[in-house]
């Protein structure tokens, strides 16, 4: 018996000394919208989108690799994507039925549950910066319309004319929509990022122009905490797709709750809810959990997305033959 115990003790000691897989120190995932993304894109157009995604992903990676916070990383990514006309956020946002732009954004710090959101802003160049201003400079969570614009002035955030957000591609799509029935409006896209930093903190951020041809005052899931954007100690989520469906199901919070109660990992919860709760064609999410695992499930023909982590991962993809 003594010899058996000695063997067991030796085996345990050797196991303890054996090298183990190092934990992921930081991780980040981004998206630039989900929907019907034609595979007929020219090679040049595809490269443009991949380069735009890679540039935004690199901006967030650099923040995290330098020891920065998850919150700073996701804001940095979204600011860059708000300035990129390839995406439906900031410059490049779709137009409302009346021909203007109404922009929404949200940001959340999973380590404290602090969050901020704005909706229906029309002159703020970077709505995500205003959302962070709501979180850090007011006692509120959500400001809309004139009140949000007034806060932007108080915070001296950069302002632009509403038509600054218009691009020729978005204008052409709006004109085509106005020439046909209102029901012809396709779903819109969104940009977003989720991150885990080296200190173990999670954060999420999202920004959007909404859906093409939307009614004035329409608010989708993006700025609604728990629907399109959410982060806590277990999971960070940013969603894209048919906003009304994400609102009805509280998708972002539902994913995080499954991870929080230990029913599944954040990545597994995201996969299940996108595949089993949402309907085909509703959209997708990017998530990262406290374990550093990234998930990017979607049920549409494509989703602009990318992922990077401290282990050297760095990839972007559009269709379902790329990064998952």
- Kindly list the catalytic residues: 190
Q: Looking up tokens 């957000």, which residue turns up?
A: 165
The Cα–Cα gap between 191 and 225 comes to 15
The beta-carbon contacts of 133-142 under 8 Å, at least 24 apart in sequence, are 133/157, 135/107, 135/108, 135/109, 140/116, 141/115, 141/116, 141/117, 141/225, 142/116, 142/117, 142/118, 142/223, 142/225
Question: C-alpha distances in angstroms, 46 versus 13, 39, 171, 282, 304?
Answer: 53, 9, 21, 23, 11
Q: Looking up tokens 């549409």, which residue turns up?
A: 300
End-to-end CA distance of the chain: 51
CA nearest to 237, candidates 210, 278, 273, 263: 273
CA nearest to 196, candidates 63, 52, 33: 63
Buried b (16+ CB within 10 A) or exposed e, 85-106: bbbbbbbbbbbbbeeebbbbbb
Question: C-alpha distances in angstroms, 143 versus 106, 152, 202, 206, 230?
Answer: 10, 11, 23, 15, 17
CA nearest to 220, candidates 172, 178, 129, 283: 283
Return the DSSP state at 166. Answer: -
């Amino acid at each position: 018996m003594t010899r058996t115990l000695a063997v067991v003790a030796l085996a345990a000691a050797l196991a303890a000394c054996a090298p183990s897989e190092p934990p992921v120190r930081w991780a980040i995932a981004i998206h630039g919208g989900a929907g019907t993304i034609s595979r007929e894109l020219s090679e040049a157009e595809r490269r443009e989108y991949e380069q735009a995604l890679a540039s935004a992903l690199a901006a967030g990676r650099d923040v995290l690799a330098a020891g920065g916070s998850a919150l700073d990383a996701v804001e940095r990514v979204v600011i860059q994507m708000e300035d990129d006309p390839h995406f439906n956020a900031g410059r490049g946002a779709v137009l409302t039925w009346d021909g203007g732009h109404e922009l929404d954004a949200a940001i959340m710090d999973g380590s404290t549950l602090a969050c901020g959101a704005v909706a229906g802003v029309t002159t703020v160049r970077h709505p995500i910066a205003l959302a962070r201003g709501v979180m850090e400079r007011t006692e509120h969570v959500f400001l809309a319309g004139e009140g949000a614009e007034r806060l932007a002035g108080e915070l001296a955030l950069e302002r632009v004319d509403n038509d600054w957000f218009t691009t020729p591609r978005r204008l052409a799509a709006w004109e085509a929509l106005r020439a046909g029935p209102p029901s012809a409006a396709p779903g819109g896209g969104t940009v977003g990022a989720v991150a885990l930093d080296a200190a173990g903190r999670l954060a999420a951020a999202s920004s959007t122009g909404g859906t093409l041809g939307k009614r004035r005052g329409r608010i989708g899931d993006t700025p609604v905490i728990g629907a399109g954007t959410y982060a806590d100690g277990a999971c960070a989520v940013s969603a894209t797709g048919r906003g009304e469906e994400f609102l009805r199901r509280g998708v972002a919070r539902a994913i995080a709750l499954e991870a929080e109660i230990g029913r599944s990992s954040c990545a597994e919860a995201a996969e299940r809810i996108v595949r089993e709760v949402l309907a085909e064609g509703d959209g997708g999410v990017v998530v990262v959990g406290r374990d550093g695992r990234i998930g990017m499930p979607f049920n549409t023909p494509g989703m602009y997305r990318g992922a990077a982590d401290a282990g050297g991962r760095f990839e972007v993809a559009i269709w379902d033959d790329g990064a998952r």
